[in-house]
């Protein structure tokens, strides 16, 4: 994984995309968390290789995606061609076989220490959309696809402006909630690649991200997160928000009840967002306890029985 | 309207008694039940009381049980399989917790109105049963000192018995030991006349044992500030916990010479261990028992006397009495502040 500076990368993304599309971009993931918590400290880097940019709202996603991709390709950004479905599609290509927009900045060696690529995603069209969905993104040279996941609507909810850059980034508490919703249990699937030398369950990595965000937030009181989560759930899933709220904490509780899963999550934190803090397992666990009592239980208690 | 009677024998059932009786309603209270056998025995007791004479109702109150709701629900269901329906109709089991009551069966309005008083009475009885006789002297000393610093005048032995929960012989024994420091009035009332220095320093030396001090610290993560912990505590709105220590002392002596609040001292007028666990979780789930020599963020002490002497300040949560606050200062090794506090709160006679 690459070590990249959140501020530098967000500035580069902002300057590369057309000014008119900046308002449609919400940066999510570890880079967004890094930007929020230590974006002003150039000495702090985030270990990641992808810069995930969610296009919102949905009705503007295709237009913005086309404009952004066009400009980046014209300026020499290079397509990342690893993985399945990398050939550009046409009108007859099934939408789920289209390649995602994944672009390296011009002149970057993909194998270099500081290489990163931009990936475009979109918020879901409807709250009823489950699983991964694709939206066709036609360009002159062929068709791309914009992937979406159900919880991306949460991630992109009420984002924060990235200073004067014109783009936005996801609120840390919303990324935490999205990860909680995505993993109401510890699923057995492991990540396709190794994480700092180890095969890690994706649930442990994503729920570890929740603990990392709580640790970095370092709040005396996480209860305001419950209010923000409730607002986001109501806005994004008006028919289901209560059910989702009641199961949001299940995966985190399962993680904290399993020593081996928790140890994997700790490993991802030490080699990810918390690399510069190196918290002990006890410390990470304490952060999880605070989050559960303050935010998760407060959210659960707010749901009428 | 019927009035509540406590500790009442049941004439037609020799050996049976009710913790409280209200008209035809007979209450039995279990404080913090954790034993299913005891629970079943109590259920059978109230069922026998109801079956013994027509028109009676039997209520079993479980105050802060450590048994789960699911388990208790199963016990109630099991009762239905072998108790006659006409008896069952007159039975109720109430799970009483700070947060809410769960009621199995029916509760009449008059019973519901008197529930809290019945529970409070039984808790006080329970305090008496759990206290160690060796602590009696120090408990009586503390109550006498509270009256002294509050200048509330002399007390009869009966009043002392009511406030401390000890019997006349125990009180007489304690008063004899304190005799050099007492003023005995012609009507047999007593009050402290001068500071009982020797007895006080014996109490200070044994304070942690006498008050069952438990210290908690967030070992592994940045501790929450005492102010943040205090704000959370106030939100809980508990009337059986009072603020002591530095914060309590400042309530009585705002000019106390100490910057900051090194730790939060709380006084529990309760014997509910489950309650303490929940309070700590709400304050900060990262709080764990402090290791030897580790500075605690929260320290909890218990008092078991029937009268708490907590001081309520408007809508604020209560403050512990002056003597508990003084002991907290000593326990925290804030000796100069303890002396300053003692000097300011005690009447003219100095130690």
Quick one: pLDDT at residue B100? Answer: 78
Q: Determine the pLDDT at residue B132.
A: 64
Per residue in B135-193, pLDDT (tens digit) is: 899 999 999 999 999 999 999 999 999 999 888 999 999 999 999 999 999 999 999 99
Summary mean pLDDT of chain B: 88
- Report yes or no: B211 and B285 within 8 Å, Cβ to Cβ: no
* Residue-level pLDDT at A44: 80
Gyration radius from chain A CA atoms: 19
CA–CA distance, A119 with A83 (Å, rounded to integer): 14
The number of C-alpha atoms within 13 Å of A281 and in the hemisphere containing its C-beta is: 12
For the segment B310-317, the average pLDDT, to the nearest whole number, is: 80
Name the more confident of B34 and B252: B252
8 A C-beta contact, residue A182 and residue A149: yes
Instruction: Assess whether pLDDT exceeds 80 at residue B99.
Output: no
The model's pTM: 0.78
Contact between A286 and B282 using a beta-carbon 8 Å cutoff: no
Q: Does residue B273 have a pLDDT over 70?
A: no
Residues in A touching B222 (Cβ below 8 Å): 218
Q: Which residues of chain A, if any, have pLDDT below 70?
A: 1-2, 305
Q: Cβ separation of A290 and B284 shorter than 8 Å?
A: yes
pLDDT of residue B134: 64
For B58-79, what is each residue's pLDDT tens digit?
A: 999 999 888 888 889 888 988 8
Comparing alpha-carbon positions, the chain B residue that sits nearest to A222 is B284
Q: Is the pLDDT of residue B9 over 50?
A: yes
CA–CA distance, B239 with B234 (Å, rounded to integer): 10
Bridge partners, B267 (sequence order):
B242, B301
Q: Are the Cβ atoms of A293 and B228 closer than 8 angstroms? A: no
Pairing, β B91-96 against β B57-63: parallel
Half-sphere exposure of B192 (CA within 13 A, CB side): 27
Per DSSP, what are the bridge partners of residue B184? B190
Among B219, B228, B282, whose Cβ lies nearest the Cβ of A282? B219
CB pairs under 8 A between A and B: 29
Contacts of A292 in chain B (CB under 8 A): 285
Enumerate residues 6+ apart whose C-beta is below 8 A from A138: A66, A91, A144
Q: How far apart are CA A253 and CA A259, in angstroms?
A: 12
Q: Does B284 touch chain A (CB under 8 A)?
A: yes
Alpha helix (H) ranges present in chain B?
Answer: 36-52, 69-82, 85-88, 109-130, 136-149, 157-164, 168-177, 197-210, 226-236, 245-252, 273-283, 322-331, 335-345
Least confident interval from A87-101, B309-323, B327-341: B309-323
d(CA B2, CA B42): 24
Give B-chain residues touching A282 at CB under 8 angstroms.
Answer: 219-221
Contact: A293, B219; criterion CB under 8 Å: no
B219 and A CB contact within 8 Å: yes
Spatial neighbors of A107 by CB under 8 A, at least 6 apart, are A76
Cross-strand pairs, B18: B8
What is the ipTM score, two decimals?
Answer: 0.85
Do B221 and A287 lie within an 8 Å CB cutoff?
yes
- What letter does residue A292 receive in the DSSP assignment? I
Q: How confident is the model at residue B276 (pLDDT cuts 50, 70, 90)?
A: confident
The verdict on A287 touching B (C-beta cutoff 8 Å) is yes
3-state SS record for B81-95 = HHCCHHHHCCEEEEE
Of B220, B228, B284, Cβ closest to residue A283:
B220
Average pLDDT over residues B236-243: 88
> What's the count of helices (H) and strands (E) in chain A, helices before strands?
12, 11
Of chain A, the percentage scoring pLDDT greater than 90 comes to: 82
Task: Select from A256, A266, A286, A288 the residue whose CB has the most chain B CBs within 10 Å, as the one to mutate to test that interface.
Answer: A286
What's the per-residue H, E or C state across A105-161? CCCCCCCCCCCCEEEEEECCCCCCCCCCEEEEEEECCEEEEEEECCCHHHHCCCCEE
**Contact with chain A for residue B3, Cβ under 8 A:** no
Return the bridge partners of B308, or none: none
Cα gap A167→A21, rounded to integer Å = 9
For residue B3, the model assigns a pLDDT of: 87
Token readout for B238 is 């508990």
Contact A280 B282 (CB under 8 A): no
Give contacts of A 200-259 with B, CB under 8 A: 218, 220-221
Whether B234 contacts chain A with CB within 8 A: no
């Amino acid at each position: 994984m690459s070590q990249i500076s959140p501020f530098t990368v967000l500035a580069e993304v902002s300057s590369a995309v057309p000014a008119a599309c900046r308002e449609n971009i919400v940066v999510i993931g570890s880079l967004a968390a890094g930007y929020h918590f230590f974006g002003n400290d150039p000495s702090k880097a985030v270990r990641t290789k992808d810069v995930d940019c969610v296009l919102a709202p949905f009705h503007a996603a295709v237009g913005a995606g086309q404009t952004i991709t066009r400009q980046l390709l014209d300026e020499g950004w290079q397509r990342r061609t690893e993985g399945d479905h990398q050939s550009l599609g046409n009108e007859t290509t099934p939408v789920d076989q289209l390649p995602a927009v994944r672009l390296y900045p011009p002149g970057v060696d993909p194998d270099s220490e500081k290489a990163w690529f931009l990936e475009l995603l979109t918020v879901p069209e409807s709250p009823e959309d489950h699983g991964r969905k694709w939206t066709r993104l036609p360009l002159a040279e062929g068709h791309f696809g914009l992937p979406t996941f159900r919880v991306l609507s949460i991630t992109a909810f009420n984002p924060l402006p990235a200073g004067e850059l014109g783009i936005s980034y996801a609120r840390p508490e919303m990324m935490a909630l999205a990860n909680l919703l995505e993993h109401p249990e510890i699923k057995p699937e492991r990540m396709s690649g190794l994480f700092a030398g180890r095969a890690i369950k994706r649930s442990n990595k994503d729920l570890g991200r929740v603990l990392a965000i709580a640790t970095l937030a370092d709040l005396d009181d996480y209860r305001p997160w419950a209010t923000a989560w409730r607002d986001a759930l109501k806005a994004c899933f008006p028919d289901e928000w209560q059910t989702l709220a009641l199961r949001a904490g299940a995966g985190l509780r399962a993680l904290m009840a399993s020593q081996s899963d928790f140890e994997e999550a700790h490993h991802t934190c030490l080699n990810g967002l918390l690399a510069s803090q190196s918290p002990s397992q006890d410390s990470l666990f304490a952060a999880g306890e605070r989050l559960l009592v303050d935010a998760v239980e407060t959210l659960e208690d707010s749901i009428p029985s | 309207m019927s009035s509540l009677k406590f500790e009442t024998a049941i004439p037609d059932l020799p050996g049976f008694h009710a913790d409280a009786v209200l008209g035809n309603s007979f209450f039995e209270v279990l404080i913090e039940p954790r034993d299913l056998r005891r629970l079943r025995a109590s259920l059978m007791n109230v069922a026998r009381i109801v079956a013994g004479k027509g028109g009676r109702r039997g209520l079993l109150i479980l105050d802060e049980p450590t048994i789960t709701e699911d388990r208790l629900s199963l016990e109630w269901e099991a009762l239905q399989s072998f108790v006659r329906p006409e008896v069952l109709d007159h039975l109720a089991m109430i799970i009483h917790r700070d947060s809410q009551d769960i009621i199995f069966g029916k509760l009449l309005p008059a019973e519901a109105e008197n529930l809290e008083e019945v529970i409070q009475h039984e808790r006080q009885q329970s305090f008496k049963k759990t206290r160690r006789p060796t602590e009696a002297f120090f408990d009586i000393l503390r109550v006498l000192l509270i009256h002294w610093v509050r200048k509330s005048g002399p007390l009869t032995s009966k009043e002392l018995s009511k406030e401390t929960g000890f019997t006349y012989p125990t009180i007489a024994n304690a008063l004899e030991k304190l005799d050099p420091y007492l003023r005995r009035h012609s009507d047999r009332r007593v009050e402290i006349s001068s500071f009982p220095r020797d007895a006080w320093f014996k109490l200070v030396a044994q304070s942690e044992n006498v008050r069952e001090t438990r210290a908690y610290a967030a070992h592994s993560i940045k501790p929450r500030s005492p102010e943040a912990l205090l704000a959370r505590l106030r939100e809980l709105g508990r009337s059986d916990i009072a603020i002591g220590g530095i914060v309590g002392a400042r309530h009585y002596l705002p000019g106390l010479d100490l910057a900051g609040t090194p730790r939060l001292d709380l006084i529990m007028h309760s014997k509910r261990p489950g309650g303490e666990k929940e309070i700590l979780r709400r304050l900060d789930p990262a709080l764990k028992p402090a290791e030897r020599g580790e500075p605690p963020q929260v320290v909890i002490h218990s008092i078991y006397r029937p009268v708490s002497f907590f001081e309520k300040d408007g809508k604020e949560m209560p403050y512990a009495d002056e003597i508990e606050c003084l002991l907290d200062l000593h326990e925290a090794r804030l000796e100069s502040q303890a002396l300053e506090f003692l000097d300011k709160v005690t009447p003219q006679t100095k130690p």
